Structure 1
């Protein structure tokens, strides 16, 4: 291994969540002068998709937060409501107090707290970058003390994390007084989530509610803010409700086209339906630093809009796109067949349907359907 100052001393014990592999490792840190246990959940298709990169979700309090976050990430990515991601949890059951130690006067990380701050950015992240295929989109999550602690990365000019999942953060004055102004003037994209509950511990509900009020005032197009105050939720029960809420908020622009999107955006777009699809994926790529494959669900939604509004000329570009993205599927040739059929070229349409018949069935498109289209053309045009 190239990294000399941080050695991986581990036995690969692994289990499976579905097809998501979880690795348990012990890191020997020069900065901490101690060993630290971490857990790593690999995306389901990590080993087979060797050219793909993945967002990172770093979980503090990994001894109890890793499993619920990793499980939700696996579930949401399975349904493509978020991208597949690498989830890394850091166990802190024996070191949490020292890891989050702050100076009493200036409330900045001190002693072991400063070491842990540097360990995350200076040792752990480089190690993960070296050994795993990571994209540039990184999220960090924490609970009460660790949630407050992770906000210190936002005090730096170029934060190493883009997303922050704050679960009942125990905000101190340093963070509470400076964070709104820092985010307001930031030129960096920031995704920020806060969760509290009506039965949160101590004054945490009040502190978090006040932070929500302050952050909601921010007018910065690069700041994406989500929050929730869960009714009848305690300091610990709110966590289970907040994790899926945070994922849905942070990745709301990533999800596939749903019924509401179809009615409110696709059908009402001023440009072509095909252009809407391209623009949507360009936005996802720019927003999350991800290069993702066009989803069949989204391609079929555009097809439905073309049929509903009878904009058959748009099938040509959609068909070429589908052939490029899914060369073994019949969808591309079927769309081109529809294009030629509706534009008075039955011979060319028949040819495309024959090609589609030889390829894999997808969605509602079947070989029987292709035969039916071919027979209709024969009957109508004597082909």
Structure 2
């Protein structure tokens, strides 16, 4: 209970922090033949950095989901668990079924639902990509019937959404047939990464729980390397509390690749790799972060150290030079790349080359850095040889 209260308090204070960054925009929609208001959140630092791009999140049901999603996104970014995001919130029409529902007899979207679908795709996303520095990574976030509508974007022949976050989804009786028609195998043809999050909850009616459970069981059998299915079940007494839990749980999974290497990630994906494969894994992780999220992080030192032991202890440390070169490629201002190359040369008795590399690395360091002494000791030690 205390932990939940702390989270709520943190997000409460975040609301004050981002309240001045909300832009109200009226979009004249040719598709809906009316004007719709959207609320746009720009992350801290957006105005100062004219080059950096940010993932785009489109949040349906903005009247109650937007603040919660923004608050969680601020928290995750502050904890280096996710990139900062540009977020646009769309409030539903007063006649909710006009935007997000379905024909109960077929499960298909109604004509009004299709129009709203196209409005989001062709007008809201187009406006955001045309006017703000968005990266290629797009998330759709919705609850209830909006979550159902989001799944219909899976039917696009050319997928353009990366993460489908479906909270407390209200599905038709035909949802299984609909998913079969989406031909999810097509995602394998895409050089990209995709996520589908759905949650069940103990607070739902037994009929709704059964419907979601059947879909999740079917999705669990999918084996698509770039299409990540997150089947979640939340034990809670109300649908409202399920929403508050679902958002951070979805973000944890959707932005898993962005986070520093965790113990679970190391044990699952890295520990049994050869040095060459471990180096490639680390390089690809950061190249994918930059491509998907527009975040050029360089490379986190803790991730370098996570792979270091494999490179040093396996195969006699013969791949230290490749390790150092990879680090310099991603993070040229880091002295660690020079250190590992220097260590490679030193192990091969190429003292002049090792000394040169250590000097280059030392020249990049702040004299107040406690690690600079170790670099200098290497220089003194080899310089006396």
Q: Give the TM-score normalised by the residue count of structure 1.
A: 0.81
Question: Residue in 1 aligned with 2:334?
Answer: 329
Cα separation, partners in 2 of 1:112 and 1:122, compared to 1, 3 Å: same
Distance 1:215 1:194 in 2: 10
**1:226 CA drift (Å):** 0.7
The answer on whether the counterparts of 1:195 and 1:227 sit within 8 Å (CA) in structure 2 is yes
The answer on whether the counterparts of 1:121 and 1:160 sit within 8 Å (CA) in structure 2 is no
Higher strand share: 1
Cα separation, partners in 2 of 1:184 and 1:266, compared to 1, 3 Å: closer
Question: Residue in 1 aligned with 2:10?
Answer: none
Question: Which segment drifts farther, 301-310 or 62-71?
Answer: 301-310
SS in 2 for 1:158: coil
SS in 1 for 2:235: strand
The answer on whether the counterparts of 2:155 and 2:183 sit within 8 Å (CA) in structure 1 is no
SS in 1 for 2:375: helix
Cα separation, partners in 2 of 1:214 and 1:310, compared to 1, 3 Å: closer
Question: Residue in 2 aligned with 1:269?
Answer: 273
| Aligned: 1:369 with 2:361 | no
Question: Residue in 2 aligned with 1:5?
Answer: none
Q: Which has the higher contact order (CA 8 A, sep 6+)?
A: 2
Residue pairs, 1:158-177, within 5 angstroms: 158-177=158-177
Q: CA RMSD in A?
A: 3.4
SS in 2 for 1:139: strand
Match of 1:192 among 187, 191, 196: 196
Distance 1:257 1:155 in 2: 33
Question: Residue in 2 aligned with 1:244?
Answer: 248
Q: Deviations over 1:211-242 (max 9, x none)?
A: 21222233444532111111234211111111
Aligned residues: 365
**1:146 CA drift (Å):** 1.0
Question: Residue in 2 aligned with 1:147?
Answer: 147
**1:45 CA drift (Å):** 4.4
Residue pairs, 1:1-383, within 5 angstroms: 17=17, 21-92=21-92, 94-103=94-103, 105-187=105-187, 190-200=194-204, 203-272=207-276, 273-281=278-286, 288=292, 293-296=297-300, 297-309=302-314, 311-361=316-366, 366-378=371-383, 382-383=384-385
Cα separation, partners in 2 of 1:331 and 1:24, compared to 1, 3 Å: farther
Distance 2:53 2:368 in 1: 27
Cα separation, partners in 2 of 1:213 and 1:364, compared to 1, 3 Å: farther
Question: Residue in 2 aligned with 1:12?
Answer: none
The answer on whether the counterparts of 1:69 and 1:243 sit within 8 Å (CA) in structure 2 is yes
The answer on whether the counterparts of 1:167 and 1:242 sit within 8 Å (CA) in structure 2 is yes
Higher helix share: 2
**1:312 CA drift (Å):** 3.6
Q: Give the TM-score normalised by the residue count of structure 2.
A: 0.80
Distance 1:291 1:31 in 2: 34
**1:310 CA drift (Å):** 7.6
**1:114 CA drift (Å):** 3.1
- Structure 2 unaligned runs (5+)? 1-14
The answer on whether the counterparts of 1:192 and 1:224 sit within 8 Å (CA) in structure 2 is yes
Q: Deviations over 1:277-313 (max 9, x none)?
A: 2344566678x58785542232333334334448443
